[in-house]
Amino acid sequence: MDDTIRQFQELIDRSNRIVFFTGAGISTESGIPDFRSPGGLWEQNRPIDFSEFVASADARKEAWRRKFAMDAVMTAARPNDGHNAIAALYQQGKVPAVITQNIDGLHQMSGVKEEDVVELHGNTTYAKCLDCHKKMSLEAVKKVFAKNETLPTCSVCGGIVKTATISFGQAMPVVEMRRAEKEAIECDLFIAIGSSLVVYPAAEIPVVARHHGAELVILNREATPLDPYATLTINREIGETLRYVTKL
Ligand code: NAD
Ligand code: ZN
């Protein structure tokens, strides 16, 4: 065990209210590529932003094509040591919430209750009408789309249907942002994991925690712009690091 891990361990042991904040990096060990690593999703595809999705049928078709191309990977993914270590601390009662930028549902699958996972960027395991918010299953969308790439529309209001994720340019979910800020303000230790911390406004949350007196730990393979704010930065692999400190 090196010094950094020992310091991390001590911070966890002496904190009573620990909030985790995760990004795509925690799910790479489950086989889901992140955005910005080599081989990540951005090397293959430029993201389609919200205004483009709404304005263009071609963009919507491309979005659904990509979605279904990734679906086998998403469906097969299971929580890894990183998710399980967080779930273990959660079960001990020290973790009131896990804030995540991920859309893969793996924290819930690892045993963190749905109401304690704060999804800042929504969820990709179902779809929703952009106007009346009626849910539509991916199965139903798939069936429609299979017929010559017909775009799904809402059965209630005829509105545009999109995965229940927040795209670039789309408004952040108000309730989730508020909860995230509240948890950041109230915690004594805030641990950011597997996020490049460049996507705003999500990346403001660790700064809020720090300004309200929490210790801030950043665990990520590479440096982030918020490193100067951190009590401790750990540039290591996520699964093995969390396994150590939670004694999994
Ligand atoms: P990002 O791709 O910008 O950053 C991921 C970071 O994790 C990188 O800095 C990378 O070096 C690090 N990383 C990857 N694997 C690691 C490992 N095993 N150990 C240590 N570090 C590792 O991701 P982001 O900051 O979450 O922002 C991207 C946005 O993309 C998010 O808003 C999210 O909504 C979305 N996204 C989600 C998923 C998912 O749900 N799993 C996947 C891709 C993208
Ligand atoms: Zn509708």
Query: CATH no. for residue 92?
Result: 3.40.50.1220
List, as one string, the DSSP characters of 59-127. Answer: HHHHHHHHHHHHHHHHHH----HHHHHHHHHHHTT--S-EEE---S-HHHHTT--GGGEEETTEEEEEE
| Each residue's pLDDT tens digit, 138-150 | 999 999 999 999 9
Domain boundary among 165, 196, 222: 165
Please give the distance, rounded to the nearest whole angstrom, from the Cα atom of residue 155 to the centre of ligand 2.
Answer: 7
The CB of 101 under 6 Å from ligand 1? The reply is yes
Q: How confident is the model at residue 91 (pLDDT cuts 50, 70, 90)?
A: very high
- The answer on 186 and 69 residing in a single domain is no
Token readout for 229 is: 């704010």
What was the pLDDT predicted at 35? 80
Give the single-character DSSP code of 46: P
- The answer on 231 and 176 residing in a single domain is yes
> Given the CA of residue 199, which atom of ligand 1 is nearest to it?
27
- The answer on 200 and 141 residing in a single domain is no
- The answer on 233 and 182 residing in a single domain is yes
Could you tell me what percent of the chain has a pLDDT over 90? 88
Tokens 């270590």 sit on residue: 85
| Each residue's pLDDT tens digit, 105-142 | 999 999 999 999 999 999 999 999 999 999 999 999 99
What was the pLDDT predicted at 43? 65
Which of 35, 46, 224 is the pocket-test mutation for ligand 1 (most atoms within 8 Å of CB)? 35
What was the pLDDT predicted at 40? 67
Give the environment of ion ligand 2: residues with CB less than 5 A.
129, 131-132, 134, 154, 156-157, 159
Instruction: Residue 17: give the domain boundaries.
Output: 1-30+79-121+171-248
Distance CA 15, CA 186 (A): 12
Exactly one of 83, 121, 211, 212 is catalytic; name it.
Answer: 121
Domain boundary among 132, 165, 198: 165
- The answer on 55 and 16 residing in a single domain is no
Q: How confident is the model at residue 247 (pLDDT cuts 50, 70, 90)?
A: confident
The CB of 163 under 6 Å from ligand 1? The reply is no
The CB of 32 under 6 Å from ligand 1? The reply is yes
What was the pLDDT predicted at 41? 65
Residue 168 scores a pLDDT above 80:
yes
- The answer on 146 and 136 residing in a single domain is yes
pTM comes to 0.94
The CB of 170 under 6 Å from ligand 1? The reply is no
Q: Whose CA is nearest to atom 15 of ligand 1?
A: 25
Q: How confident is the model at residue 206 (pLDDT cuts 50, 70, 90)?
A: very high
Ligand nearest to the CA of 132: 2
For residues 145, 148, 152, 155, the Cα torsion angle rounded to the nearest 10 degrees is -110
The CB of 196 under 6 Å from ligand 1? The reply is yes
Domain boundary among 165, 187, 221: 165
Token readout for 147 is: 């017929």
Residue 46 scores a pLDDT above 90:
no
Distance CA 238, CA 245 (A): 11
What was the pLDDT predicted at 45? 78
> Given the CA of residue 41, which atom of ligand 1 is nearest to it?
43
The CB of 165 under 6 Å from ligand 1? The reply is no
83 classed as catalytic:
no
What was the pLDDT predicted at 80? 98
